[in-house]
Amino acid sequence: MTPGLAELPLIGLLRSASGRFALLFTALFAAAATAAAVVLWWNTAGALDRQTDAAIRADATALAERRQDAGISGLMTSIADRIALDVQNEALYLLQSPDRTTLAGNLEAWPEEAEGDPLWIRIPLLREDSESEARLLRIDLGEGYRMLVGRDVAEKLRLRALLSEGIAWAAASSAAIAVLGAWLLRRALEDRLAPVYGTAAAISGGDLSRRVPLSDRQDEFDRLGMTMNAMLDRIAQLMAGVRGVSDAIAHDLRTPIARARAKLEESLSAASDEEALRAAVEQGIADLDDIARVFKAVLRIAEVEAGARRAAFALLDLAPMLADAAELYGAAAEVGEQVLETNLPEALPLVGDRDLLLQAVANLLDNALKFNPAGGRVVLSARQSGNVVEIAVADDGPGLAVADRVRVGERFFRTDAARTTPGSGLGLSLVRAVVALHGGEVVLADSHPGTVPPGLTVTLRLPVG
């Protein structure tokens, strides 16, 4: 690129979107003005020319017919009469004999331009010491006679010059208005986009709290601002989630990692025999397996939230899948001296990912059995209401406070009552991610409102299609 080329005004204008819009506005305005000028010229100057040619042609036709009726002498008389009656002194005639003698007319000589092939000619004309122009039609009368019939178009030329001057002034005014309009358009665009520039610059500088200010017009720029603000809110939410997950991972995994390391060090230095050393290694492996399961759950949630599993969606029947989950956790319920009941329809069609839905229901059943007291009851039910399938898991446990229900789906969040039980706080996070992937919602409510403990019912509302 030539040095300094980018600094040229036109190049800078073309690099700017507002400048290109302004140039487009100028071009469209100029095209409209040009079209108007062409139409005006056609309807004025063009009409004058066509009117003059029509008058000359009609006059020439009448004189030719006069020659046929009254001969050359009658034609000469007609020409003389027309000249005498021409008050405006615009009519031009010249009649010559075969020997090129002038017989009648007010033209001094036969012009050289009339010797050629064209019948219509224009010649300069000097009349009364003023220059003018004549429009002539040549007519061959036969037997060597020839005639020119025309008009002095000086007045029409003056009108044309006046019209041209008016169009020129109009064009100059239109150009000035177009340039002013383009400048105003560019300024308006830049003023409306300036808040977007400022917000983007502030965010790139690290101020993630900035948002695009909106006006009361609710126009395209406001819709752009609302979209950007929604995007920035989502980015801020995701970044907060990333920070929260990082902090939670560091906090929740620090203890099992430290415990596994301490046990391995202790067994390495204090194990009395091979059996004790083996038990310590096995415990360390179990702790590391728990850590691996946490990371696997985090990765699975991230995969679901990214929508990568939508390719596995297919038409399935939830009824047998829910029955399998109930049968799988029935044994765990018996061990905890609890009762797992089901209330399932014969068929429950749904379009979704079978493995993810089974995992979500399994997480709900695991949580319900974990927090349910001995002798308590867990109920797995499902039904279809219109275009929505509802899967509910209800227990007789301590339930959830209203404040905790808002955060219960966050990764690694655990209530105070749950910190003494094993787990990582990722179960409901995966449930929410799976339901969101299917376009549904998770609803939390008390199983026994007004009683203590109230229990908890988690309902998954999923669209059929």
For residue range 181-197, what is the model confidence (pLDDT) as tens digits? Answer: 777 777 877 787 788 87
Query: Phi and psi of 204, rounded to 5°?
Result: -65, -25
Answering whether pTM is above 0.85, one says: no
CA distance 25 to 33: 12
Give the model confidence (pLDDT) of 256-287 as tens digits.
677 777 777 777 776 667 777 777 777 777 77
Q: Where is pLDDT greater, at 340 or 306?
A: 340
C-alpha of 292 from chain center: 44
Confidence of residue 151 (pLDDT cuts 50, 70, 90): confident
> Which alpha helices (DSSP H) does 86-153 contain, by range?
none
Q: In sequence order, what are the beta bridge partners of 152?
A: 134
295: confidence class by pLDDT, cuts 50, 70, 90: low
Decide which of 363 and 3 is more confident: 363
Angstrom distance (rounded) from CA 79 to CA 107: 12
- For 302, half-sphere exposure in the C-beta direction (CA atoms, 13 angstrom radius) is 10
Q: Read off the amino acid at residue 178.
A: A
Task: Give the 3-state DSSP-derived string for 337-351, with helices as H, strands as E and coil as C.
Answer: CCEEEEECCCCCEEE
Lowest mean pLDDT among 13-22, 82-91, 150-159, 350-359: 13-22
132 touches 126 (CB < 8 A): yes
Query: What mean pLDDT value characterizes the chain?
Result: 78
SS3 helix, strand, coil % of the chain, rounded to 5? 60, 20, 25
What are the Cα distances from residue 129, in Å, to 94, 108, 272? 20, 14, 139
Q: How many residues appear in the chain? A: 465
Q: What gap in Å lies between CA 302 and CA 168, rounded to an integer?
A: 69
Number of H helices, E strands in the chain: 10, 12
Confidence of residue 233 (pLDDT cuts 50, 70, 90): confident
